[in-house]
């Protein structure tokens, strides 16, 4: 990672290399942190953050689910995100706001510690989200079951959810796949390890309901709204593993992944085994939206 720009820590912009925490930080031991992943795009009209208010809302919703007392308002955090991006001087970046129980008391109870907040921003690199963007991702249905809200609040974008996701991702990679697909305890499709999932059969676009255990993805919401604005619709319904194998097209959505095509699941080819025409069209629509080329969605961009 290139150490450029500044990191916002509890109200101050500090040099990238100085943004350090104590080894006895509560969250390091007990996974008591929540975070966001946001993109800033280099549009023809200047750099713009995609759906900033929605990401800040989700950060605060996650904090609430972990009883975190945020010492900063949504307005302060939104302004701080913009300031951090400006301080970085990057046209295109990935932004990571993080709130965590900090250093103070050691022991399981987190609430005796202050909630620290940081906002980092780094150069956007396609990296691990590349698979599926141009050709098609090969996915493995994970042997790990997606944890659900009987165990912890899954609508929080919390670090503690990601051990489960990381195990699934590692298993997929170790077996020669690009990404994992996770089923829930009922055997229904939940989501990818860090993306929501959509399945197309006979031109009908379907996605699992949030009750299946996936995160309430902002890209998921964006693509549903884009489809609806263009006169189409998406059906939210539980999907079985069979629905994956039988699909004509499958794509995944996420801030990093954007719209990525899935062309193989386990050893089964999806549709023609190539990126499908609906997925391709949606990729184009989404790119137009994030690049500010679709006027109907300009309010989703915060120009910096
Ligand atoms: C588990 C999980 N599901 C879905 C998503 C997609 O969410 P979003 O579109 O808000 O990035 C993410 C990415 O943050 C994720 O980590």
Would 6-125 and 129-290 be classified into the same CATH topology? Answer: no
**pLDDT tens digits for range 140-171:** 999 999 999 999 999 999 999 999 999 999 99
- Measure the CA–CA gap between 164 and 1, rounded to whole angstroms: 25
The set of catalytic residues is 157
CATH code: domain 6-125 is 3.30.470.10
What's the whole-model pTM score?
0.96
More confident residue, 9 or 111: 9
Q: Among 52, 157, 210, say which to mutate for ligand 1: greatest number of ligand atoms within 8 Å of CB.
A: 157
Looking at the CA of residue 218, tell me the nearest atom of ligand 1.
10
CA of 190 to the centre of ligand 1 (A): 12
In the predicted model, is pLDDT for residue 174 greater than 70? yes
CA distances from 77 to 28, 198, 247, 265, 303 (A): 22, 32, 41, 40, 16
More confident residue, 133 or 50: 50
For the Cβ of 258 lying below 6 angstroms from any atom of ligand 1, the answer is no
Tell me if 140 sits within 8 A of 181, measured CB to CB.
Answer: yes
Nearest residue (by CA) to ligand 1, atom 12, is: 194
CA of 257 to the centre of ligand 1 (A): 9
For the Cβ of 194 lying below 6 angstroms from any atom of ligand 1, the answer is yes
CA 92, 90, 85, 102 torsion-angle sign: positive
Q: Domain locations in the chain? A: 6-125, 129-290
The pLDDT value recorded for residue 128 is: 58
Q: What is the mean pLDDT of residues 284-295?
A: 98
- CATH superfamily, domain at 129-290: D-amino Acid Aminotransferase, subunit A, domain 2 (3.20.10.10)
CA of 255 to the centre of ligand 1 (A): 7
**pLDDT tens digits for range 57-105:** 999 999 999 999 999 999 999 999 999 999 999 999 999 999 999 999 9
């Amino acid at each position: 990672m290139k150490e450029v720009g500044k990191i916002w820590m509890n109200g101050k912009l500090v040099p990238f290399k100085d943004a350090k925490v104590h080894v006895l930080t509560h969250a390091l031991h007990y996974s008591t942190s929540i975070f966001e992943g946001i993109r800033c795009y280099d549009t023809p009209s200047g750099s713009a953050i995609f759906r900033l208010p929605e990401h800040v809302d989700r950060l605060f919703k996650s904090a609430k689910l972990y009883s975190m007392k945020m010492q900063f308002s949504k307005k302060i955090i939104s302004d701080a995100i913009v300031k951090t991006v400006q301080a970085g001087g990057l046209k295109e970046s990935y932004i990571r706001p993080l709130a965590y129980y900090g250093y103070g008391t050691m022991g399981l109870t987190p609430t005796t510690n202050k909630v620290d907040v940081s906002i980092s921003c780094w150069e956007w690199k396609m990296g691990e989200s590349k698979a599926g963007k141009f050709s098609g991702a090969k996915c493995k249905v994970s042997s790990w079951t997606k944890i659900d809200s009987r165990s912890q609040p899954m609508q929080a974008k919390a670090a503690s959810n990601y051990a489960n996701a990381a195990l699934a991702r590692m298993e997929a990679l170790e077996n020669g796949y690009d990404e994992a697909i996770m089923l829930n305890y009922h055997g229904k499709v939940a989501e990818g390890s860090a993306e929501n999932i959509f399945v197309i059969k006979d031109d009908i676009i379907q996605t699992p309901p949030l009750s299946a255990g996936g995160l309430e993805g902002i890209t998921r919401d964006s693509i549903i709204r884009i489809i609806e604005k263009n006169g189409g619709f998406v059906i939210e319904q539980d999907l079985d593993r069979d629905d994956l194998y039988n699909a004509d097209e499958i794509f995944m959505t996420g801030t990093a992944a954007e719209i990525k095509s899935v062309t193989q699941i386990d050893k089964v080819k999806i549709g023609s085994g190539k990126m499908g025409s609906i997925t391709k069209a949606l990729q184009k629509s989404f790119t137009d939206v994030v690049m500010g080329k679709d006027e109907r969605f300009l309010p989703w961009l915060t120009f910096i």
